[in-house]
Structure formats: C-alpha cells, structure tokens
A = this chain, B = another copy of it.
Amino acid sequence: MFPASKLRYHRCVKEKFRAAPRSGCPVSIGLEIFGDRWSLLIVRDLMVRGFRRFKDFLESGEGIATNVLADRLRKLESAGILSTRTDPDDARRVLYRLTEKGIDLAPTLLDLLVWGAKHEQTGAPCAVIAEMANNRATILAEVRRRWEADDPTPLLPWLGGPRNSRR
C-alpha cells in the first residue's frame, strides 16, 4: 500500500506525542526515551557489536519480538538516537546507525556494564571488565573512533558480532 519508508514516517509522527514529561530532570527525560528493557540493548548492539540491520537485532540472543523491535527502532529514531537509510547494496535492507546523540550514550552504557559485571553473576570475563573499568577514557575514545569511521567490527569479540551478514 505505502512504501515502507513512508509508513515508518507516519508512525513516528503519530507516536511521538504522548503524555507530557513528568519533570524537568534530565534523568527523567532520558528514561522517558529509553526507560524500558529493550531500547538500551539495541543501542548497545549498535555501539559495540556492530549491528546494523533488523535481523541482527532479532537474533541478538535477547529474544525480542519483531513488533517490539520495530516499535523500539521507530521510537529511537524519532528521538534522534539513531538514523536509518536504505542499504545501497540491497534495497530491501534498512541500515540503522547511531547518531551523535546516540553515541553519546556510550559512557552511560559502559558504566552500566561495569556495574552489572560487578554486582551480578554474568557471563562476562572478569579480566575484560576490570580492564574496561580502568581504561574508561581509552574505551570511550575507541567506541567513538569506530563510530566515526563507520567501522562495524565488534568491540567485544566475546559478545559476538552480527552473524553472517553476507550469508
């Protein structure tokens, strides 16, 4: 009926106007955008795993449903955290990429990672985590470099990158 891109646009416009934000606190406003169980995982995958495509996120191992994923991508886009464009090599594909605003979430995400690794039993290797906690600035610089260079190599190999992008 409509081309996908137009459909997406219509939805964005509609969904952006929800209830008024609750307070002027920046934390509160941030939580309004990604205060749920999925959004930050998408940002994480874009940032450190080099994910770009719908399917990558679907198979990320977290078990997100397609409708929820589509919804979150749409919301993150309309919040200016990621941008979309059609893959020049295959017009079926939509490529997702963090914006400047999105990549600025790197410190938050890194802290969250360190916190989780410290206080919960996770599958993360302790050595890597210790290194991350100590080399904060270095890691943040590297994340940004990759983003600027549009380099999809996963930052954390043990997390696994997108599987078989060219199957």
Chain A interfacial positions (CB closer than 8 Å to B): 22-32, 35-38, 40-41, 44, 60-63, 80, 101, 104-105, 107-109, 111-120, 122-124, 129, 159
Contacts and interface: CB of A to CB of B under 8 A. Distances in A.
A115 B62 contact: no
B37 A32 contact: yes
Given A108-B108, A111-B111, A116 B26 contact: yes
A25 B123 contact: yes
A40 B29 contact: no
Contacts of A122: 24-26, 29
What is the count of identical protomers in the complex? 2
Contacts of A105: 115
A62 to B, nearest CB: 4
Contacts of A22: 61-63
A40 B34 CA distance: 12
19 contacts: A22-B61, A23-B123, A24-B122, A25-B116, A25-B159, A26-B114, A27-B44, A27-B109, A28-B62, A28-B116, A30-B115, A30-B116, A31-B37, A32-B37, A35-B36, A35-B38, A36-B37, A104-B119, A107-B115
